Homo-oligomer: A and B are copies of this chain.
Amino acid sequence: MTTNNSLGEAIEVLQQLGLKEYEARCFVGLSRLHTGTAKQLSEMTEVPRTRVYDAVRVLEAQGLVEIQHSSPQQFRAVPLDEATETLRDQYEDRVERLHDALDTVEIVEEDDETPVQQVWAMSGRDTIENRTNQLIDEAAVEIVLVVGDESLLTEALVASLNEVGNGVDLLIGALTESLQEQIQTAVPDATTFISGLEWLHSEDATEDETAIGRLVLIDRSTILVSSLMPDTMEEQAIFGEGFGNGLVVIARRLMAQGLLTARDPKQ
């Protein structure tokens, strides 16, 4: 049911932005029509003619189309830039209201016995990248980072890495030589390496296995490990903090084991 062209994309996105199907269809229809009647729209968009009127009215109320009250009435879409700006404003307003509403309250302390062993799961590339960068920003002593895939080396990451204080050790591992070089040039202050990472690879043949995404160890007390789902390439991560955390301890040992051999001989 995918409409071949990019119009389908537009319809989908509009629905994600909160419009109903008919509304979305009508809007993209109008976007390529300069001006149109209910009939034209109906034919072009597959929206039943009698429902075009409702859809367009909603769109008008949202500031996305204009209506000419003649007979037959004519519709036209607001200029694209104006429309996107309107949507942006709408959303920005909402996010702001949310922020205001929540940062006033926020505090409900209860009888707390925070267990030491904290391991949290996160998913979604953006989420994980945000967290990664934040961790890097907060590092005080040492950052050990292994990047498993080129696509994860984003501008924001590089920026964060280049901003670490100079009291902080910066060790970055890569799975391939080309990636290593890329990193070394992007982040001159870092010590980069490759070997010692064999344990990250799957020993078995079938290559469509879960791949390592990132691996972050901050100040030897906080760790984040992510993997890339083989099919969707969606990223999932676990994230542990606290010195006493078992996961962190294990990771620390593993890294020390795997890295020392690489660190000392190579430079």
Task: Give A residues with C-beta under 8 Å from B.
Answer: 5-7, 9-10, 13-14, 16-18, 28, 31-35, 60-63, 66-70, 76, 78, 80-82, 84-92, 94-95, 97-110, 112, 114-115, 117-124, 126-127, 130-131, 134, 239
Contact = CB atoms under 8 A, between A and B. Distances in A.
A49 to B, nearest CB: 18
Contacts of A120: 66-68, 76
Nearest to A66: B120
B69 A102 contact: no
Nearest to A124: B63
Nearest to A60: B123
A239 B67 CA distance: 10
Contact of A60 (B62, B85, B122): B122
Nearest to A90: B126
B80 A122 contact: no
A9 B5 CA distance: 39
Contacts of A63: 122-124, 126-127, 130
A98 B130 contact: no
Given A35-B114, A63-B127, A69-B121, 14 more contacts: A17-B94, A17-B95, A32-B106, A32-B107, A32-B108, A33-B110, A60-B122, A62-B124, A63-B126, A63-B130, A68-B120, A70-B117, A84-B99, A88-B91
